[in-house]
Every structure is written in C-alpha cells, then in structure tokens.
Chains A and B, each alone.
Chain A
Amino acid sequence: MAFNVLIVDDSSVVRSVIGKTITLANIPLNEVFYAVNGEEALKVLGEKWVDIVITDINMPVMDGLELIDRISKDGLMSSIPVVVVSTEGSTTRIEELKAKGVRGYIRKPFTPEQISGIFKEILGDSNAN
C-alpha cells in the first residue's frame, strides 16, 4: 500500500527536508502534499485523500493547535494520524497535544531517523490493520 502524506509548515526549507526524508526512508509513497499553514492544510484535507498529517505548531493564519482542533472536530482524528514536528519543548503542551489525539511528537531539530521511525511505527500499524 502506498501512502498520501500532508506536510504542514510555514518554512519551505522544513517542508522540503521532511519531504526528502520520507522519500529516502523507503516508505511507500503515493503523493506528498504541502501546506504553509492550517488553513491550507484543511483545504487539502477537504480535496484529497490523506493517510497521515505532519504539522508544525507555530504558523501564521492558522496554527497547528487550531488545525488539530479542526481535524478532531471534523471527526477525522480517528482515521488520519497526526504527527507534530515542532520547536515546542513544554511537557504541558505535549501532554495537551496527546490528549487531543496526536499520535506522535518530534521536537526540532529532528533526525531523519526520528521522522522515518515514527512513520513506520504509525503507518506500520495501519498496514497491519
């Protein structure tokens, strides 16, 4: 099975780095979509099939927290795993994200192994199901 991935980050460099990392990680990919903020991400989610969302928190227009709330409110959280990649270091905030249903959290700066590891952990579960 090949996966559709949505990468949400206001930094073009971070979007490229994450995109390259998952491409090189031997994860079976169908399409990779990119969004610069939560609002754009919701548009993509409304138009395309997405198997996993990778999102930053601190973004203009609509931040990652609001995006996660909207995904949850739309009933998508149970079917589309969300992974946060952020500079956030507060355990209070990380626990808040987990309580909202976020499946994984990676703190920047991240290694390619962290990105590919969490993909395999989450999508590997999907494959098994």
Chain B
Amino acid sequence: MQINSEILVRLVPEILEKSAMMLAEPLRDPPLSIDSPLIEAQISFSGHANGDLTLLCPESFCLLAAASMLGLDEDELVQAQAEDVLAELTNVLCGQLLTAIAGTTPVFKLSMPNILRREDFEWPTFAALPEFIAFEAEGHPLLVKITMQESV
C-alpha cells in the first residue's frame, strides 16, 4: 500500500506542536551522530490494514518533550518518563496517521507501544534508510517510519 509521505511530513510537526508544544520540521540531512542514548518506539496495528509505526530519537528529545508536557525542568525527570513520552507521542501519531490514510470508518487495533533502547552508534544506519523520514524538533533529530499493507 502506497503511503503518501506528505501525510507524515504534515502530521509529525502538527502532533508534536499540539502534544508537546514543540516546533518541528522535516530534515533533509539528519545528523551523522546523536548526543544521547538512542530510543526506539514501535506500535503495530491491524484491521483494515496491517503495519507498524516506528519512531527513533535521542533520549534528549524525549526529555525535552516530557519537560514541556509536564511543565518541569529536564533534570527533574527520570528515564521512565522520557520513555513514556515517546510511547505516548507514537501512540497519538499512529492514531492520527491511520485516520489520515484510511479515513474515519475503519477500526484499527493498536498494540501497546514497544520501547527499545538501542546503541547510539546505530543512529547513522537508521538515518540512512530511505524508508525513514527525518525531522528536527527544537534542535533534536527524529526519524519516523510507517509500513502498511492492506488486509487480505
């Protein structure tokens, strides 16, 4: 199923602004390295179509988003809150994406977000993959990928 990348390009900044009051824009050339541990969030969905949504970002992005959403300083936050924020942002983005792609009639079942801590040296490998779209949010990079195929 062809996913129009324009939908991602439009929705990711919109969701980040509404959810975390962060300004974001597409990034043509993501940085070759990141400055903090790499975190991945993935949600699988099924129903009218099956697929996954994946977000990859440095922990520094998650801490900034959490601080913004909770009205706290970053040094008041713990690792679990950073991961929780990424999980929730992925969850919200997935819901909005599925509606934008498939409309408001189909019902999808979403998995719980799966959070994985990766080695930061893996970042350039992911950033080079064409299926990921890169964004910059308040100086922090973010990679987003959606895979989708219609249910038989």
Seen from chain A, the residues whose Cβ lies within 8 Å of a Cβ on chain B are 10-14, 16-17, 20, 58, 60, 86-93, 107-109, 111
Residue of A10, A16, A86, A109 touching B70 (CB-CB under 8 A): A16
Residues of B within 8 A of A111 (CB): 18
Quick one: closest B residue to A14, CB to CB?
Answer: B88
Interchain residue pairs A-B with the least CB separation, the first 7: A87-B95, A89-B99, A109-B18, A109-B19, A91-B104, A11-B88, A90-B107
Quick one: closest B residue to A94, CB to CB?
Answer: B104
Q: Give the complex CA separation of A111 and B87 in angstroms.
A: 19
Contact B92–A89 (Cβ < 8 Å) = no
Quick one: closest A residue to B111, CB to CB?
Answer: A58
- Closest chain A CB from B142 CB (angstroms): 16
Contact A11–B95 (Cβ < 8 Å) = no
- Closest chain B CB from A37 CB (angstroms): 11
Give the residues from 16 to 38 in chain B that come closer than 8 angstroms, CB to CB, to chain A: 18-19
- Closest chain A CB from B94 CB (angstroms): 7
Give the residues from 80 to 107 in chain B that come closer than 8 angstroms, CB to CB, to chain A: 80-81, 84-85, 87-88, 91-92, 94-96, 98-99, 104-107
